[in-house]
A and B are shown apart, each in its own frame.
Chain A
Amino acid sequence: MSAGTIAAAAGLFRTCPVTKLKVHRDAELLVKVNAVAAVLAFTVGVSAAILLVLTRWQAVHLLPADWYYRLVTAHGLNMLIFFIIFFEMAILYFAGAIMLNSRVPTPWLAWLSFGLMAVGALLVDYLVFTGRADVLFTSYPPLRAHPLYYLGIILFAVGALVVTGLFFACLVVARREKTYEGSMPLVVFGALTAAIISVVTLVHGAIIYIPTFLWSLDLEIFGWKANVDAQVYRMIWWALGHSSQQINVAAMVSVWYLLGGITVGAVVINEKISRTAFVLYILFINLASAHHLLVDPGFGPGWKIWNTSYFMYLAVLASMIHGFTVPAGVEVGQRLNGFVKGTFEWLRKAPWSDPGFSGMFLSLIIFGFLGGVTGVTIGTEQISIIAHNTLRVPGHFHTTVVGGTALAFMALTYYVIPLIFRREVIWLKLARYQPYLFGGGVTLFAVSMIVAGMFGVPRRHYDISFTNALFKVEYPPGADLALAFLALGGIVAFLGGLLYILITVGSVFFGTPLTEERLQKGLASVPQGILRLPPQERKEESHYAPGTVILVFVFLAVFAIYYFTNWKMLSQVWQIG
Chain B
Amino acid sequence: MHSGLVAPKGIWWKPAGRQEKVWITVAFIWCMVLFAMMPFWHFKGGQNPAGIRHRVEPAKYQERVNRFVQEYKVGEDTGMPVVQAPPGSELYLLGRMWAWYPILKLKEGATYTLHLSSLDLNHGFSLFPVNINFQIVPGYDYALKITPNIAGDFRIVCNEFCGIGHHLMVGKVIVDPK
Check if A328 is an interface residue, CB within 8 A of chain B: yes
- Please state if B80 and A313 are interface contacts (CB–CB under 8 Å): no
Given A268-B4, A324-B20, the answer on whether A556 and B171 have CB atoms closer than 8 Å is no
* B-binding segment of A23-31, A122-130, A239-247, A458-466: A458-466
Could you tell me if A556 and B30 are in contact, using CB atoms closer than 8 angstroms? yes
| Complex-state Cα separation, A455 to B157, whole angstroms | 13
A142-B121, A460-B161, A469-B170 are known contacts. Are A231 and B137 too (CB-CB below 8 A)?
Answer: yes
By the criterion CB–CB under 8 Å, are A473 and B53 in contact? no
**Contact between B17 and A543, CB atoms less than 8 A apart:** yes
Q: Are B19 and A69 in contact (CB under 8 A)?
A: no
B102 at the interface (CB under 8 A from A): no
Q: Which residues of B contact A142 (CB under 8 A)?
A: 120-121, 138
Nearest CB of A to B56, in Å: 10
B175 nearest in chain A by CB position: A574
Interface window among B6-14, B64-72, B84-92: B6-14
- Which listed residue, B28, B80, B131, touches A470 by the CB 8 Å rule? B80
Q: Which residue of A lies closest to B26 (CB)?
A: A556
Q: Does B74 contact A (CB under 8 A)?
A: no
Pair B157/A538 contact, Cβ less than 8 Å: no
Q: Which residues of chain A come closer than 8 Å to B139, judged between CB atoms?
A: 229-231
**A509 lies within 8 A of chain B by Cβ:** no
Q: Is the CB of A185 within 8 A of B45?
A: no
Q: Which of A267, A272, A471, A545 contacts B1 (CB 8 A)?
A: A267
* Closest 8 pairs (CB-CB, A-B): A261-B3, A257-B4, A458-B159, A297-B142, A182-B9, A271-B12, A456-B131, A186-B4
In whole angstroms, how far apart are the Cα atoms of A382 and B44 in the complex? 12
Q: Is the CB of A301 within 8 A of B131?
A: no
Q: A230-B122, A270-B20, A576-B48 are in contact. Are A455 and B4 (CB under 8 A)?
A: no
How many of chain B's residues touch chain A, expressed as a range? 35 or more
- Among B121, B126, B142, B158, the residue within 8 A (CB) of A143 is B121
Which secondary structure dominates where chain B touches chain A? mixed
Given the interface pairs A301-B42, A470-B78, A556-B26, the reply to whether A385 lies near B5 with Cβ below 8 Å is no
Task: Identify which of residues 503-548 in chain A touch chain B, using a CB-to-CB cut-off of 8 Å.
Answer: 536-538, 540-543, 545, 548
Nearest CB in chain B to that of A453: its residue = B131
Contact A470 B20 (CB under 8 A): no
A575 touches B34 (CB 8 A): no
Question: In the complex where A271-B8, A381-B38 touch, is A316 in contact with B31 (Cβ < 8 A)?
Answer: yes
Binding site for B on A (CB under 8 A): 19, 65-66, 69, 72, 99-100, 134, 136, 140, 142-143, 180-187, 190, 229-231, 234, 254, 257-258, 260-262, 265-274, 293-301, 304-305, 308-310, 313-314, 316-317, 320-321, 324-325, 328-329, 332-333, 336, 376, 380-382, 384-390, 454-456, 458-464, 466, 468-471, 473, 475-476, 536-538, 540-543, 545, 548-549, 552, 556, 559-560, 563, 567, 570-571, 573-577
Nearest-Cβ distance from residue B150 to partner chain A, whole angstroms:
8
Interface centre among B39, B138, B149, B160 (most CB of A within 10 A): B160
By a CB distance below 8 angstroms, the chain A residues around B8 are: 182-183, 185-186, 268, 271
Tell me how far the C-beta of B99 lies from the nearest C-beta in chain A, rounded to whole angstroms. 7
CB contact between A577 and one of B19, B23, B50 (< 8 Å): that residue: B50
Q: CA of A356 to CA of B140 in the docked complex: distance in angstroms?
A: 50
A575 with B146: in contact, given A270-B17, A389-B159, A570-B47 (CB under 8 Å)? yes
B177 on the interface (CB 8 Å rule)?
no
**Any chain A CB within 8 A of the CB of B107?**
no
B167 touches A65 (CB 8 A): yes
Please determine whether A577 and B1 come into contact, CB atoms closer than 8 angstroms: no
In the bound complex, what is the Cα–Cα distance between A230 and B80 (angstroms)?
28
Of the candidates A272, A313, A475, A576, the one whose C-beta lies within 8 Å of that of B34 is A313
Q: Are B14 and A271 in contact (CB under 8 A)?
A: yes
Please state if B27 and A388 are interface contacts (CB–CB under 8 Å): no
Min CB–CB distance A266 → chain B (angstroms): 6
Across-interface contacts of B18 in A (CB, < 8 A) = 543
Query: CA A100 – CA B2 in complex, angstroms?
Result: 16
Please name all residues of chain B whose beta carbon is closer than 8 Å to the beta carbon of A229 when the two chains form the complex: 139
Q: Contacts of A140 on B, CB cut-off 8 Å?
A: 121-122, 160
- Report B47 CB to chain A, min CB distance, Å: 5
Which residue of B has the minimal Cβ distance to A391? Answer: B159
B53 CB to nearest chain A CB (Å)? 5
The answer to whether A456 touches B171 (Cβ under 8 A) is: no
| B37, A380: Cβ atoms closer than 8 Å | yes
A181 contacts across to B, CB distance below 8 A:
7, 9
Q: Which residues of chain A come closer than 8 Å to B144, judged between CB atoms?
A: 576-577
**Min C-beta distance of A142 to chain B, whole Å:** 6
Contact of B126 among A69, A382, A390 (CB under 8 A): A390
Residue contact B135 to A293, C-beta cutoff 8 Å: yes
The docked-state distance in angstroms from the alpha carbon of A267 to that of B12 is 13
Q: Nearest Cβ distance between residue A350 and chain B, in whole angstroms?
A: 15
**A143 CA / B161 CA spacing, docked (Å):** 9
- Chain B hits for A268, CB < 8 A: 1-4, 8
A298 with B53: CB separation less than 8 A: yes
A298–B46 Cα distance when bound, in Å, is 21
Query: Does B159 contact A390, Cβ atoms closer than 8 Å?
Result: yes
Q: What is the CB-to-nearest-CB distance from A31 to chain B, in angstroms, rounded to a whole number?
A: 16
Cβ-defined partner of B30 (8 Å) among A329, A381, A559 = A559
Q: Are A468 and B7 interface neighbours, CB within 8 A?
A: no
Task: Contacts A300-B53, A380-B34, A541-B1 given; indicate if A390 touches B133 (C-beta within 8 A).
Answer: yes
Q: How far is the CA of A186 from the CA of B5 in the complex (A)?
A: 7
Instruction: Compute how far the CA of A455 lies from the CA of B28 in the bound complex, rounded to whole angstroms.
Output: 33
**Minimal beta-carbon separation of B20 from chain A (angstroms):** 6
Q: Which residues of B contact A464 (CB under 8 A)?
A: 167
Contact partners of A454 in chain B: CB under 8 A? 131
Q: Compute how far the CA of A297 lies from the CA of B1 in the bound complex, rounded to whole angstroms.
A: 52
Can you give 16 contacting A-B residue pairs, CB < 8 Å?
Answer: A142-B138, A270-B17, A320-B23, A324-B27, A325-B20, A332-B1, A382-B41, A382-B49, A385-B47, A470-B78, A470-B99, A470-B168, A471-B155, A536-B3, A573-B130, A575-B149
Across the interface, name the chain B residue whose C-beta is closest to A458: B159
Other than A260-B3, A261-B6, A269-B1, give 6 A-B pairs with Cβ distance below 8 A: A313-B31, A320-B27, A458-B157, A548-B19, A571-B47, A573-B47
Q: Which residue in B47, B129, B145 is a CB contact (below 8 Å) of A476?
A: B129
Interface residue? B59 (CB, 8 A) = no
Q: Which residues of A contact B168 (CB under 8 A)?
A: 466, 468-470
Assess whether B131 is in contact with A390, with CB atoms less than 8 Å apart. Answer: yes
Q: Does B95 contact A (CB under 8 A)?
A: no
Verify if B51 is at the interface (C-beta below 8 Å from A).
yes
